[in-house]
Amino acid sequence: MSDNPITGEVSNSKLAAVFPMPASARAAAVELVEQLGFQPAQVKVITADTRDVDIKLEPEGGGIWRTIVLAHLKLCLLGAVVGGLVFAAMMWAGVPYVESSPWAAGGWWVLYGAIGGLFLGGLVALRPDHDRYIQAVRKAIAAGGGAVVVHALSTAQQQEAAGFLAGRGADVTRTL
């Protein structure tokens, strides 16, 4: 299961290991499955002649929609709580405006916190950490190389695969 409670994807920890030759990528993928026990569905080889590259890079279309909804919902609620805590701290500190209009001040701070949480949810849903990962694979196949894409189920599994593939001469790019 995913080790990130904000997203709705099974694999939040992806990595791309770029090799100069497609044959090296294929051999490394086989070794990764055989020696480290990764499931074949978690390990994909992408070369210039690979079909459906986008699906192999990001196979969880439904997970992405769950990520959009969950990230916005959870971070909105968290932001509202933080806004409420800011309001409580201002009441405790005796800020005159807050003390004179506690309902208005409390409502505004909770609203501001919720909106801030929605903005953070949008950032999580955009997955900016995936851009480097996708671009690394696209550059490799455009140059005639190959890439091993690993959809790890945890950060620990991602780190294990990254070390293994880097030891075989790959240039590894990971998502956060």
DSSP H helix total and E strand total for the chain: 7, 4
Residues 23 and 18: their CA atoms lie apart, in Å, by 12
Collapsed DSSP state (helix, strand, coil) of residue 65: helix
Q: Answer whether 0.75 is exceeded by the pTM.
A: no
**Cα radius of gyration rounded to whole Å, the chain:** 22
Instruction: Quick: pLDDT tens for 80-103.
Output: 999 999 999 999 999 999 999 999
Write the DSSP symbol of residue 143: T
Interval 63-81 mean pLDDT:
89
Neighbours of 161 (CB within 10 A): 25
- Neighbouring C-alpha atoms within 13 Å toward the C-beta of 144: 0
Structure tokens at 76: 């909105």
Q: With beta carbons less than 8 A apart as the criterion, state whether 79 and 116 touch.
A: yes
Residues 111 and 164: their CA atoms lie apart, in Å, by 47
Residue 1: pLDDT band (50, 70, 90) is very low
Residue type, 62: G
The pLDDT score that the predictor gives to residue 59 is 64
CA angle 54, 55, 58 (to 5 degrees): 85
Most confident of 49-53, 59-63, 89-93: 89-93
Residues 156 and 8: their CA atoms lie apart, in Å, by 19
Q: Tell me which of 84 and 46 has the higher pLDDT.
A: 84
